[in-house]
Amino acid sequence: MSTTTRVECPNCESVGTLILVNPDYDGPYACWKCHNVYNIVIRAGQVTSAVPTTREEVDRKRTLDKPSALSE
Ligand SMILES: [Zn+2]
């Protein structure tokens, strides 16, 4: 079962959605409108933190987590 969580962009206030398997989530979120990237924390389906980051940072972290993953 998955849940749809609404995430409001701190920059442009556009609301996007994340489809989550778990009600808790720590990870990147990219705004569909302004393309800002955040590291967000979701607890029980609510966004509790959104820290601005960059796509490069996300890619680097992803590469460290999964050394064999190919970047786009
Ligand atoms: Zn935005």
Say whether pLDDT at 44 is over 70.
yes
| Domain count across the chain | 1
Say whether pLDDT at 69 is over 70.
no
The CATH number of whichever domain residue 58 belongs to comes to 2.20.28
Residue 72 lies in a domain: no
Q: How long is the chain? A: 72
What are the Cα distances from residue 37, in Å, to 30, 33, 41? Answer: 4, 11, 13
The whole-angstrom separation of Cα 54 and Cα 37 is 6
The whole-angstrom separation of Cα 25 and Cα 18 is 10
Residue 36 lies in a domain: yes
Measured in Å, residue 20 CA sits from the centre of ligand 1 at: 20
Identify the DSSP state of 45: T
Measured in Å, residue 52 CA sits from the centre of ligand 1 at: 11
Measured in Å, residue 57 CA sits from the centre of ligand 1 at: 18
| Residue scoring higher pLDDT (53 or 70) | 53
Domain extent, residue 54, equals 3-65
In this structure, of 24-38, 39-53, 55-69, the range with the lowest mean pLDDT score is: 55-69
Q: What is the pTM of this model?
A: 0.79
**What's the token pair of residue 45?**
């389906």
The per-residue pLDDT for 64 is 83
Give the mean pLDDT of the chain.
Answer: 89
Residue 70 lies in a domain: no
Residue carrying structure tokens 């786009």: 72
Residue 71 lies in a domain: no
